[in-house]
Chain A
């Protein structure tokens, strides 16, 4: 490197730190290069000038002024610190109280809310803790207690119906009164007043007076009439039924003679107290009607009903009477031949109406339909089980399932579920 461009050599030369050899090199270059020599002279003169310059004197008392200002600021800071100290202390005294107090309050509220949510609802309701020994007034009890009663009632119903094959028994006696009311409402809405009276009649005299006399059976499609007739047969004694049927048939014949109506009377015979309702119901249905309803069980209901059904479709009344007696293993004389003779059984083939009550008895089929114009009573599927219960009430306990057929399995869930949803009805039960 050219010594003229070596900073270390130039600086060393200016400050006198070079070795003699380096010093000789720089001196040689200095003599050879005047510009380099002028640069070195200028740098050396500048350095000497700066070093020789008298240092400027600082303002008088610069240190004292600085220390005085420093002390003043320290005193002011201390004064401020002393003045602010109580405030800081008070502020710091309140701050923990407010902070920890707020935290404690929040924790207490949270814990209370959590504990309250974890408490069982029974414990939360003070009425539920009422001692059982105290007199209990259902009217004064809250809705929850009333629901509990209704729930126990329903459980009892389910227990009573366990293992039972009868639909009406399954519902239990607890619903009987309510269903009776419903039955009355249905009848009042769809039946003439006389038929309602007939349906409500419980003794033979009433049936004779009100039922047979008023029930013209002119409209065989009226389901209520069928129901009323079934009830009449069930509640009346066999002999009374026979006589009533005879009287009714006469009345109907008279009506037929006048052209007012075409009498069609159900075969209200009661060969035995056990099979009379089934025979009667079977007589009210034809094959066509049963197939229409899909009631295959109609023919399985019993030999009595099937035989009677076939007789009603083909044979003469006398043959019907004889075959019925034979098929039902009943005493021949228990069948009222007069009633059969006086009744045009074949007319029932033309009947288009279906009786919900008969349907329920024959197979428990939840279908009740009416195809003809007299659709005054349309029982919805939900009420068919109730219809069965209605007929069971009418027939008391005379309806015994045929041991040769498989009893229909009742749909327990439907009525119970329906009743179970409507808690207000349960709670308002008398």
Chain B
């Protein structure tokens, strides 16, 4: 058998099938997605940057607020094509549904509600282990900023 494997064509075919299988497997839907939502208060009362938000400085830079304070962090594991609701300060709720996994990017449906009222519905594709920022609603004299990150499992 090993002698036969020295045939370049046969070996190439084996390698090609393995790599194709690996690539295909890499795009197979994950069993679940771990989603972390970080609720942040962006304001202009002072110049403080909450140390708990270390790592997010660059991502929050475009917002031009002078201060950023961590309000709440919540992590949940969402089963594939399932939904989970995250409690957001100010009587809000963020519902995230996992939809798609392609080219190592996760498709999410995101709905932010205030009580029963929908604030925003959006469908996004973010990089696996990447994040997106959703912000703007008024909160405690500043603006609410949500950092949503997702990792396929």
Partners in one complex: no
Interface residues, chain B, with chain A CB atoms under 8 Å away: none
Interface residues, chain A, with chain B CB atoms under 8 Å away: none
